[in-house]
Amino acid sequence: MGFLVNNAPIRVNDAPVPVKRQEQAAAVQGSFGDVLSVQFSKHANMRLNARNINLSGDQLSRVEDGIGKAYEKGIRDSLVLVDDVALVVNVKSRTVITALQHGSDHVFSNIDGAVIV
């Protein structure tokens, strides 16, 4: 499984996952892509690649559920924690802004809520 590199779509178990960039949306293929509505910014994709973070289909589904819960609570920008991965998400656009894994101390700013899924 990989993430957006040189404009190639994210892949989960060799199935493309939709990645909507500000310029254009990647093609959605397969039933998994039809269900998933989480988007990854260019910056988030670079961080996922640089930090060798690979999210499973189950984890992506849980992230999507977490974004839905954040939306219901009126959160605009949320920290979504899934297992040992932290994602900063713009809830309205359902876009992951950045990502990192458990490790040294981290400070998150410009968020108004957090969801643990």
Domain locations along the chain: 38-116
What is the predicted pLDDT for the residue at 19?
Answer: 45
Written as tens digits, the pLDDT of the chain (117 aa) is: 344 444 445 544 444 554 443 333 333 334 444 445 899 999 999 999 999 999 999 999 999 999 999 999 999 999 999 999 999 999 999 999 999 998 867 899 999 999 999
Q: What predicted TM-score, i.e. pTM, was given to this entire model? A: 0.70
Signed CA dihedral, 34, 44, 80, 109: sign only: negative
Rounded to a whole number of angstroms, the CA Rg of the chain reads 13
